[in-house]
Each structure stands twice: as structure tokens, then as C-alpha cells.
Amino acid sequence: MKCYIVFFKKNAGEMVKASTQPKTRARPIGFGRRVYKFFKNVGLLGFSKRNNIYGVHPLIISTAYIILTLLLAAISRKVVKLIFGDSESLVKQILLEFIATLELCAACFELIIVADNWGVGAYALYLFLLTIWWSLKWEDASACPYAPLEQVFEGSKNVKTALLIVISQVLAALVTFRYVQVLWALELTETHQGKAYEDCTADLQVDMITGAIIEAVATCLCRLVSRTLSETEARLSTVFDAFFGTAMVVLAFNFSGGYFNPALATSLKLGCEGNDFVEHMVVYWLGATIGSLISVFISRTEWFQNKIQNLKPKEKEE
């Protein structure tokens, strides 16, 4: 039986009963539960477990997919380099371009999910960080068809080699969605539900000629900035280049989509509702390529070279 003590409240003089039965101690919260509670409070967990695996924030899943893609590409590059060593063979170049293009396109497929659900700001941040990563890891690979064409124009690469590289980039761009589709079909998060088999829509929000001009001008500016930073050996050139490129993408985002890369545009948007084949080729292939070749022409002018010389750090006189 429970034992009670009778006592009076000071203010009301009301008699109440209080149990003298010893209170049971609350179980201490385990470490795992503390961690879960912390991540739930900061918004990383606590989402619907029915639509998100373990209730994880969908952005974490998108980030994990991107990191997985970068990891697989890094391993693939190491394998190619182990096989071919320091050789500069054409097969090695083609394989590295194929890997880089697939890595680029796969990551950007996931960036579509990021942009659709968390806005252009989140998209820009991810793209900025990814661009820095690729600049550090790709070495001579470009994952962009107009890069070997620039080299042909400059006389540093023959037409046959450039054509084979472009073919490898296009093939990588076309097969990328099969890899992405496998990840999306898992539907680990609500933001991926139905995406694996959903019809895509074009990003071009202006007429064909205007879209081509936007892609051409932005591509030209990006290439000129990249050349300037490279030739002047500016400090933090990789960061500045990534920032400028990302800024151009954001500016063009609501007009042409801001691709500035024919292979990337083909991988993500070829055949999507809203553009026919001709529009796609004119805007994303012809526009970007013309912009790229114009940048080569400008970079070889005396005016541009003088600007480069003025921007180079002055050597200290002994």
C-alpha cells in the first residue's frame, strides 16, 4: 500500500496528500538518441520516413549521390592512369574525357533536383564548389566539345584527334542518364519520386536566336576570363574562375538555362519537351561553339596580349 503524509499549503491552508513512495529514475538518453535529436533539431533528420529513407533531409541524399559520382569518377581515373601510366596516348585521352563528361553530366542532373527544390542559390553554391573540384582533378580533360575545337583552331591538335575526343564526350553525355536513372529509381527521398521516368522540359525561355546569342556571349566571356587567369597566373585563379562561371550560369539561368557546354546541354535537355532538335543544336551547340572560337580570336589579338602582359606580376629586379 502507498503511504501518504498529510500537510498544509501555506497560502490556502488546503490539505493535500503527497506520496512518499521513492521516485524511479529516468533512463539516461543514449548517445545514439542524443545524436539523432541533435540532427533533428538542426533540420537534417525528422522528415517523413515514408518518403525519405530514415527520415533524412532530401538534400543530404542529393549531396550523397553527387559525392558518390565524384568518388566513382576519381577511382575510374586512377584505374586509367595505372593502366596507361605517363603515356599521352589517344586512348587514354579519350577515356579520361569520357569519365570527366559523365561525371559532369551526372552531377548536374542532381543539381536539377537541388535547383527545383532549394532554389538557384543552393544550385549556385553546389556548382561553385563542384567547379573548383573539377578544376583540381580533371587535369587536361575538359568534358566540353568546343575545347578540342579551340585547340584545332590554335593548331595544337589535329582534326582527327579532336573529332574522336568530341565523340567520346557526346557518348558519355548520352549514356549518363542511365546511371542517374538507377539512382533516382531507388526513390530514397521524396524529391526523387517519379523522376527516373518523368518527361523532361526544356530550359530555353527565349527565342532560338536570342538563346544562341546568350550562350555565345556567356561562353566567350567565360573562356576569356579563364584564359586571362591562366596566363597571368593569378592567385586563387581557380576560385575566381569558378565564381565567374557560376555567376554567368545564374545570370542566364532563366533565359537559356546557362549551359555553355554542348555535351552537358545534350545530356540534360536533348529531346525535352519545348525544344526541337534544330533549336537545341543552334542554341547549345552552334551558339556555345561560336562564342568559344570568338574567344580564341580575341585572345590572339595584340590588344588582348598587351592586357595580359600588363596583368602579369612584375618580376623583381635583382
231: number of Cβ within 10 Å: 17
Average pLDDT over every residue of 25-53: 54
Cα angle 208, 210, 215; round to 5: 95
8 A C-beta contact, residue 144 and residue 262: yes
8 A C-beta contact, residue 73 and residue 102: yes
- Strand duo 4-8 + 15-19: pairing: antiparallel
d(CA 160, CA 162): 5
- Please tell me the predicted confidence (pLDDT) of residue 234: 79
Structure-block grid coordinates of residue 304:
588582348
- Please tell me the predicted confidence (pLDDT) of residue 21: 54
- Please tell me the predicted confidence (pLDDT) of residue 252: 96
pLDDT top residue among 29 and 229? 229
Query: Is residue 214 predicted with pLDDT exceeding 90?
Result: yes
pTM of the model: 0.83
Helix, strand or coil, per DSSP, at residue 289:
helix
Residues present in the chain in total: 318
Q: Which residues of 252-285 are buried (b: 16+ CB within 10 A; e: fewer)?
A: bbebbbbbbbbbbbbbbbbeeeebeeebbbbbbb
Strand partners, 7: 16
Residues 137-192 pLDDT 10s: 999 999 999 999 999 998 889 999 999 999 999 999 999 999 999 999 999 999 99
Residues 106-124 pLDDT 10s: 999 999 999 999 999 999 9
